[in-house]
A and B are shown apart, each in its own frame.
Chain A
């Protein structure tokens, strides 16, 4: 599905400058849920922006279904960390979700149905007429997820999407995401700095170290469907958690 090969990114014209991403290589299979785990400042966001075609790469390449990514691909949707800066405050929730569909050439009737369906999938079926700023942070991020789902992507890129909501809301959003991931049969690449979140969600966790490269790959074979209580109480959960914590610990942590 997604193939990242020897990807490097250096900001600015100086080729000797410290790269943000260096020789990053990994694959994501179709319908896989992959978490990218890294401490802050390790180049996660830059990497994701390169994958999304929002940032030109310095060398190497990103391929999505065998096509080199040179600009934002149609099969991809992006969910940003800061929902308040990615939803449009002058549009209702409904309009926010439907907005990209218009330019994708989706007929009006179909767009309306897809919007309603996506909003219902995230539990906001009745809030279409509200404005984003009338909703709580968790609800706003659900709107952002609905917008991504209605776009019918094959792959969803998520940049620490739950980092700015409280723990309770966060657990709910994680379960919601797993649910729609199954229901919409999509591939998810999820960036986080939270070990528990990565283990709870992923099929596979990639540990990133600065400048962004894969330092460790951990397969997560915890049973699905996952559950906040039983999965996090599973003996393997603790083992994976420790393994990842060790990988992220001082020796591996930049700065």
Chain B
């Protein structure tokens, strides 16, 4: 009896090793299917409910889809999507550069950090949309006021994470470099910054979602193009299906941008994953 049990257990243990590859694939496919089930069911539910509800606020999904194809494939891409994305990327890019440069300086110097801390804490706490009126005064209703708001709102996570990342570099990594007489400039660019990239990327990722939010918000005040502007204008003229297409588009854009970011992060930080995977094992 006991012998049989042991035999079975041993058999059970050897089987996955033999067919491990197929099994792993099967498992991955099942998980993927599971991930797809919820959105598909949800979408079908919405489709059915909006189709029979006859609600003014929730027009049939089929209608929204038709409008979506008419509007965004690709008629309004040049007029609304590109200006939106352009402003968002400009603001984000400024935030990345400013956040990394200032963050590195503050991370390296305790004196600067102490001096800057109250100002940083105050500005960080300020909700960026509160500055939209000021930005309009300063830059007018054009692109730059929006770029300014996006940059101002997204710079903080990058700045603070860069400070943490730079401060948190293992002192022994730097000692090793000093013992090999690596000059200070190279210690900064070749050791401190690469070592800080995991933190910097975490900040950049947070900032990316803030950038999308601020892109929309900034376009809802004093603007004459952009996806946010389109959503607001559609609502104002009671073009509800059109309004929904804008909202859906924003969701899709946010999803795609985040996915692109994750792909890029995985490429740049492959060593960090490898390192972590190792210490977990």
Residues of chain A whose beta carbon lies under 8 Å from any beta carbon of chain B: 49, 52-54, 72, 74, 76-78, 80, 82, 85-90, 99-100, 103-104, 131, 133-134, 147, 151
Q: How far is the CA of A77 from the CA of B179 in the complex (A)?
A: 7
Q: How far is the CA of A103 from the CA of B197 in the complex (A)?
A: 23
For chain B residues 170-193, which have a beta carbon within 8 Å of chain A? 170, 172-173, 175-183, 186, 190-191
Q: How far is the CA of A87 from the CA of B170 in the complex (A)?
A: 11
- Give the B interface residue count (CB, 8 A): 23
Partner of B175, one of A77, A80, A134, A147: A80
Extra inter-chain contacts (20) besides given A90-B271, A133-B271, A134-B278, CB under 8 Å: A53-B179, A72-B179, A72-B180, A72-B181, A74-B181, A77-B179, A78-B179, A80-B175, A85-B173, A86-B173, A86-B176, A88-B173, A88-B191, A88-B194, A90-B197, A100-B180, A103-B183, A103-B186, A131-B271, A147-B180
Q: How far is the CA of A103 from the CA of B272 in the complex (A)?
A: 25
Q: How far is the CA of A87 from the CA of B177 in the complex (A)?
A: 10
- Is there an interface contact between B278 and A86, defined as CB atoms closer than 8 Å? no
Q: How far is the CA of A122 from the CA of B177 in the complex (A)?
A: 21
Which A residues are in CB contact (< 8 Å) with B173?
A: 85-86, 88
Which A residues are in CB contact (< 8 Å) with B53?
A: none
Q: Known contacts A77-B179, A78-B179; decide if A89 and B190 are in contact (CB<8 Å).
A: no
Give A27 Cβ to nearest chain B Cβ, in Å: 22
Query: Which of B172, B176, B195 has the most A CB atoms < 10 Å from its CB?
Result: B176
Which B residues are in CB contact (< 8 Å) with A72?
A: 178-181
Give A131 Cβ to nearest chain B Cβ, in Å: 6
B261-281 interface bits toward A, Cβ cutoff 8 Å, 1 = contact, 0 = none: 000000000011011001000
CB pairs A–B below 8 angstroms (19 shown)? A49-B175, A54-B179, A72-B178, A72-B179, A72-B181, A76-B179, A78-B175, A80-B175, A80-B176, A85-B170, A86-B175, A88-B194, A100-B181, A103-B180, A131-B271, A131-B274, A133-B278, A134-B274, A147-B180
- Is there an interface contact between B275 and A77, defined as CB atoms closer than 8 Å? no
Give A83 Cβ to nearest chain B Cβ, in Å: 10
Residues of chain B whose beta carbon lies under 8 Å from any beta carbon of chain A: 170, 172-173, 175-183, 186, 190-191, 194-195, 197, 271-272, 274-275, 278
Closest residue of B by beta carbon distance from A92 = B271
Which A residues are in CB contact (< 8 Å) with B178?
A: 54, 72
Main secondary structure of the interface of B (DSSP, over half): helix
- Is there an interface contact between B181 and A80, defined as CB atoms closer than 8 Å? no
- Is there an interface contact between A90 and B194, defined as CB atoms closer than 8 Å? yes
Q: How far is the CA of A234 from the CA of B173 in the complex (A)?
A: 40
Give A249 Cβ to nearest chain B Cβ, in Å: 32
> A-B pairs with the 7 shortest C-beta distances?
A100-B180, A78-B179, A85-B172, A86-B176, A90-B271, A133-B275, A133-B278
Q: How far is the CA of A85 from the CA of B272 in the complex (A)?
A: 13
Give A225 Cβ to nearest chain B Cβ, in Å: 29
Closest residue of B by beta carbon distance from A95 = B190
Which A residues are in CB contact (< 8 Å) with B176?
A: 78, 80, 85-87
Q: How far is the CA of A72 from the CA of B177 in the complex (A)?
A: 10
Q: Known contacts A85-B170, A103-B186; decide if A52 and B181 are in contact (CB<8 Å).
A: no
Give B177 Cβ to nearest chain A Cβ, in Å: 8
Which A residues are in CB contact (< 8 Å) with B274?
A: 89, 131, 133-134
Which B residues are in CB contact (< 8 Å) with A90?
A: 194-195, 197, 271-272
Which A residues are in CB contact (< 8 Å) with B190?
A: 99
Partner of B180, one of A77, A89, A131: A77
Give B184 Cβ to nearest chain A Cβ, in Å: 11
Which B residues are in CB contact (< 8 Å) with A82?
A: 172
Give A114 Cβ to nearest chain B Cβ, in Å: 13
Q: How far is the CA of A147 from the CA of B176 in the complex (A)?
A: 11
Give A45 Cβ to nearest chain B Cβ, in Å: 11
- Is there an interface contact between A54 and B175, defined as CB atoms closer than 8 Å? yes
Q: How far is the CA of A237 from the CA of B254 in the complex (A)?
A: 70
- Is there an interface contact between A80 and B172, defined as CB atoms closer than 8 Å? yes
Which B residues are in CB contact (< 8 Å) with A133?
A: 271, 274-275, 278
Give B45 Cβ to nearest chain A Cβ, in Å: 46
Which B residues are in CB contact (< 8 Å) with A131?
A: 271, 274
Give B98 Cβ to nearest chain A Cβ, in Å: 24
Closest residue of B by beta carbon distance from A86 = B176
- Is there an interface contact between A103 and B181, defined as CB atoms closer than 8 Å? yes
Which A residues are in CB contact (< 8 Å) with B197?
A: 90
Which A residues are in CB contact (< 8 Å) with B175?
A: 49, 54, 78, 80, 86
Q: Known contacts A80-B176, A82-B172; decide if A89 and B183 are in contact (CB<8 Å).
A: no
Closest residue of A by beta carbon distance from B268 = A90
- Is there an interface contact between A52 and B179, defined as CB atoms closer than 8 Å? yes
Closest residue of B by beta carbon distance from A147 = B180
Q: How far is the CA of A150 from the CA of B180 in the complex (A)?
A: 11
Which B residues are in CB contact (< 8 Å) with A147?
A: 180
Closest residue of B by beta carbon distance from A100 = B180
